[in-house]
Chain A
Amino acid sequence: DAGVIQSPRHEVTEMGQEVTLRCKPISGHNSLFWYRQTMMRGLELLIYFNNNVPIDDSGMPEDRFSAKMPNASFSTLKIQPSEPRDSAVYFCASTIWDEKLFFGSGTQLSVL
């Protein structure tokens, strides 16, 4: 398996633009997590899905953030409109119960 695949690796955009981050979990995994990492706040859980259903989105900063998982092999995290304070590394991770948590390589987002 290729592991958790995220795209793009880097995204530079201007304030106010829409940003869409993509994630393909490991085949067979039924839980998917979106995290954000910054120097100041460390690793923060934004939202997670079980069997494609959002379970806990309490970490989503505000209504500008939304996440979807239309099927077991694809998820998106959207920011609209983006702001400079959204600049961070966004990670997607997947697992199945009892197993290790596998992370993607992350998307480095810079909002100018």
Chain B
Amino acid sequence: KQEVTQIPAALSVPEGENLVLNCSFTDSAIYNLQWFRQDPGKGLTSLLLIQSSQREQTSGRLNASLDKSSGRSTLYIAASQPGDSATYLCAVRPLNFNKFYFGSGTKLNVKP
């Protein structure tokens, strides 16, 4: 069974800092990987989707990378802002199953 781990569980940084969130998974036979953002009391919003054949995806200040062989993905946030404060979750979709395995998330706090 696929297991997805996100470390650290919480992170606090000053505004303007560049930061990296980590996601690791145990089975490299994945179809794709997504990064989500969840604000308190809200649903999850997909930020970036990386197909298994891709190495990275970028959207604005966000860059997600994927290394299937090592079972790792990172979400890089450049020039962090207080509005980036939220919980970030990653999810992997296995090759032959139409379901998603989620990590427990990293709660990010960007201090003004």
Contacts and interface: CB of A to CB of B under 8 A. Distances in A.
Interface in A57-101: 91, 93, 97-101
A13 to B, nearest CB: 20
B102 A43 contact: yes
Interface in A15-48: 31, 33, 42-43, 45, 48
Contacts, number: 42
Contacts of B99: 33, 45, 48, 56
B45 A45 contact: no
Contacts of B105: 42
Contact of A42 (B46, B51, B98, B102): B102
Chain A, interface size category, equals 20 to 34
B91 interface: yes
Interface string B68-112: 000000000000000000000101000000111010110000000
A112 interface: no
Contacts of B44: 91, 93, 101, 103
Interface in B28-44: 32, 34, 36, 42-44
A24 B36 CA distance: 21
- Could you say which of B44, B45, B91 has the most chain A C-beta atoms within 10 Å of its C-beta? B44
Nearest to A3: B43
Given A100-B49, A101-B34, A103-B45, A45 B98 contact: no
Given A91-B44, A103-B36, A106-B42, 11 more contacts: A42-B104, A45-B100, A55-B98, A98-B32, A98-B51, A101-B34, A101-B91, A101-B100, A103-B43, A103-B45, A104-B43
Interface of B: 32, 34, 36, 42-46, 49, 51, 89, 91, 98-100, 102, 104-105
Instruction: List the 5 shortest-distance A-B pairs measured between CB atoms, nearest first.
Output: A103-B43, A100-B46, A103-B44, A42-B104, A43-B102
